[in-house]
Amino acid sequence: MSKSSKKDSSKRHNNFVTNSFALINIIVIMLVLTAGFAYLLFFKRDTVSHEENRNLAKFPEFTVESYLKGEYTEGIANYYDDTVPNRSFFKTLISKHLITLKGVKYGAGDDGNGVELYNTGNDSKEEEQPEEPVTKNEQTTVSGENDDSTATTTTTAETLPKANAAAANGEVSNNILVVNKRAIMLYGGAWGNEINYAEDVNAYKEALGKDVNVYSMVLPTSVSYYLPENYLDLVESEKDDLDSIEEHLKNVTNIDAYTALLRHKKEAIYSRTDHHWQPLGAYYAAEEFAKEADVDFADISTYTKHVLSGYVGTMYGYTKSSTLLENPEPFIYYEPEKEVEVEQYSTYFTDPTETELLLNPDTLDSSSYYLVFGMDDNIRHVKTQCKNGRNLVIFKDSYGNALLPFLTSSFENIYLCDMRYFDLNAVNFINEVEATDVLFAMCTYSAVGVNREHLSANLNK
């Protein structure tokens, strides 16, 4: 065979091999794409994200108006993006093996410890504080959520405050610090909004008159007790804002939950993995309120203690931190000894239905154990065995839900109302149920953030 023939044969062989590999690649890619398409199209789509404590997007309802505005097609895209089959599995996989590769570690030693930062976490006084997240019965996204679209940016050493350069093992994401296996919301300060809150509560007292006792119990968050000193320049003082609120209250009794909780900071009074407190923290705050209200209060030893293991709450949903995911905590709640009657109403105080004081935790995902106290978008009326003629109305955010079981020995009737889901004139409602006492119980983010606007709105409906 001539050299030219051998060369042509070799060339044809190489072309054949190259084309064969190209064809195989095309076939493999087509099979992967087809399998992925079939998986996304035909497998059951998730409806709830337990890690993020929210319901996932629903397929939009078609209307001509929504189609012309582009809302219908946008809703379809959001639905398919938000409801991937086996979503929890993939999010866990990403959190454990991919997100941990992002960011920059500082001060890392042989043990792998150091600082991981995603965003600086600094708030300016002009920025609005985030809403305290809510839980609803209907299929909607909770307000204040951080979904998959939340971008994470790497922070370089030059952007770190000097005080944090030698910080302990931690990470900051979406204004949340994860340190010592605990997630902490970084409080940006009230910047005068605490005075507006006090004025709103004062307006309730003025409208209700001298025959109704009005109390304000603004609840600090875990940042006041567990933030390492080398991160203090990232936050404003909750205590200063709480003191300012007390200073501006008129004829309203201030409940100092801050000091009551400070005495017990070494106990598990706040969740490590959730933005809420633990029920034990609610117990100590309720005890302080009962003392100021001069009513009986049952010791925690009389309650049945329930311990639920494997709790990883909302903070994982906000940060996607593998540190939180891999370090769950127990969720401990307490059931009162004496039986009570509970009716649940709509936010218009209509359509009463009998319900339980506490939900069965077996019906909840481990990431949603705080929901044992119920949802927010309703009014609950608790009739107790206490016969002292004292009727209490509580206007609250979701922090206030955990207070309810601990007050069943203190008031004859208790009405639990979320200020964000209340469709009546608040003063008329208080008078209708013949309340002797009104308690405003919410965390600092609600008192000085956008949730505060609901207080004045409910006063004027």
pLDDT score for 336:
98
Three-state SS across the chain?
Answer: CCHHHHHHHHHHHHHHHHHHHHHHHHHHHHHHHHHHHHHHHHCCCCCEECCCCEECCCCCCCCHHHHHCCHHHHHHHHHHHHCCCCHHHHHHHHHHHCHHHCCCEECCCCCCCCEEEECCCCCCCCCCCCCCCCCCCCCCCCCCCCCCCCCCCECCHHHCCHHHCCCCCEEEECCEEEECCEEEECCCCCCCHHHHHHHHHHHHHHHHCCCCEEEEEEECCCHHHHCCHHHHHHCCCHHHHHHHHHHHCCCCEECCHHHHHHCCCCCCCECCCCCCECHHHHHHHHHHHHHHHCCCCCCHHHCEEEEEEEECCHHHHHHCCHHHHCCCEEEEEEECCCCCEEEEECCCCCCCEEECCCCCHHHCCHHHHHHHHCCCCCEEEEECCCCCCCEEEEEECHHHHHHHHHHCCCCCEEEEEECCCCCCCHHHHHHHCCCCEEEEEEEHHHHHCHHHHHHHHHHCC
pLDDT score for 328:
96
**Which residue numbers in the chain have pLDDT < 70?**
1-14, 16-17, 36, 40, 48-55, 87-174
- pTM of the complete model beyond 0.95: no
Q: Calculate helix-pair angle for 193-208, 238-248, nearest 10 degrees.
A: 30
Pull the structure tokens for residue 75: 């809703």
212-223 pLDDT, tens per residue? 999 999 999 999
pLDDT score for 97:
52
Pair type for strands 54-55 and 48-49:
antiparallel
pLDDT score for 14:
67
Answer for the pair 403, 282: CB distance below 8 angstroms, yes or no: yes
Compute how many other C-beta atoms are within 10 angstroms of the C-beta atom of residue 54. Answer: 26
pLDDT score for 29:
86
Taking the CA atoms of 456, 418, 298 and 367 in sequence, report the sign of the dihedral they define: negative
